[in-house]
Amino acid sequence: MNILQNFIPKKKLSQNFLIDKNILKKISSSASIQNDDIILEIGPGLGHLTTELLTYKFHKLIIIEKDKDLIEILQKKFTSPNILLIHDDFLKLDLSFLKKIISTKKIKIISNIPYNISTPILVKLLRNHKLFSQITLTIQEELANRICAKDVDKNKGSISIFTKLFSADQKILFNISNKSFFPIPKVTSSVIQLTCKDHIELPVDIVPLFETFMKSIFSKRRKKITSCLKGLYDKTAIKEACEASQINMNKRPEELSYDLFIKLFNFLHIN
């Protein structure tokens, strides 16, 4: 605990370090790490999860940390030649460099990410889904419930549909008590795991439009789907799209499946 006593977590960077060894072991084992795996850890903090990952054999571990003070600690703590430490802001970092590191093997993400930027980090990972095979993240429970929401689920939002576009499988592995962290956050956490798709159902260049489409619909989530689309398209187009997609026009967004949203979007923008 000495390192914890000597380092003051920065609230503005949402630094709450997961320190429960049993939970750290559980996260690491859930990723099914293989000898030839390339692992990417975002925001390692003081390296508690990193230390646990090092109990496994893998090909390479890439660590990205924004905090200069933490990087200095990590550089002293981890000197293995198969660890690449990068001092940078993940959200600003061009991930194309990863293509030079990987060959045929895709990267596994295993990270406890800062809660204040969890959604932007997830979105960036999903947009670069071809680089990754699996994403294992510790995030706030409320967000985990939205990301892994079922087809008919009150927790469902635009992030649920966006995640399904890039991920073939989404699951909450387990929840974590706030007492497993230092300092103790006010919220409960969850570990989620996503299996990335090789190919998505939409053309890549139209994905930003789909993202805007979904955000617009779920901004009026308690209204009927026709009301959600009103103002974006004319009445005739909405009626024709719903009929072609076999969507009950009295349904609300949370009652529509991922497949129906894809059909609706395709009819309105591609067909």
Tell which residue, 143, 145, 151, 192, has the closest CA to residue 172: 192
Residue 201 lies in a domain: no
Q: Cβ distance 125 to 182 under 8 Å?
A: no
Q: Could you tell me the residue range of the domain that residue 239 belongs to?
A: 207-269
Are residues 72 and 111 located together in one domain of the fold? yes
Are residues 160 and 219 located together in one domain of the fold? no
Q: Of the ranges 30-39, 96-105, 166-175, which one carries the lowest mean pLDDT score?
A: 96-105
Q: At 153, is the pLDDT very low, low, confident or very high (cuts 50, 70, 90)?
A: confident
Residue 58 lies in a domain: yes
R_g of the chain, CA atoms, integer Å: 20
Specify the CATH number for the domain of residue 35.
Answer: 3.40.50.150
Residue 147 lies in a domain: yes
| Helix 258-269 / helix 158-166 crossing angle, nearest 10 deg | 90
- DSSP code per residue over 78-131: ---TTEEEEES-GGG--GGGHHHH-SSSPEEEEEE--GGGHHHHHHHHHHTGGG
Are residues 123 and 164 located together in one domain of the fold? yes
Specify the CATH number for the domain of residue 221.
Answer: 1.10.8.100
pTM: 0.93
Distance, CA of 239 to CA of 247 (rounded, Å): 9
Q: Of the ranges 85-99, 101-115, 169-183, which one carries the lowest mean pLDDT score?
A: 101-115
Q: How many domains does the chain have?
A: 2
What average pLDDT score do residues 19-40 get? 96
Are residues 12 and 144 located together in one domain of the fold? yes
Task: Write the pLDDT tens digit of every residue in 193-216.
Answer: 999 999 999 999 999 999 999 999
Tell which residue, 51, 17, 54, 18, has the closest CA to residue 33: 54
Sign of CA dihedral 143, 121, 134, 151: positive
Residue 14: its pLDDT value, please? 67
pLDDT top residue among 103 and 61: 61
What average pLDDT score do residues 162-173 get? 97
Task: Write the pLDDT tens digit of every residue in 36-47.
Answer: 999 999 999 999
Q: Which 8-state DSSP code applies to residue 11?
A: G
Distance, CA of 24 to CA of 180 (rounded, Å): 10
Copy the structure tokens of residue 211.
Answer: 């993202």
What average pLDDT score do residues 155-177 get? 97
pLDDT value at 169 more than 90 = yes
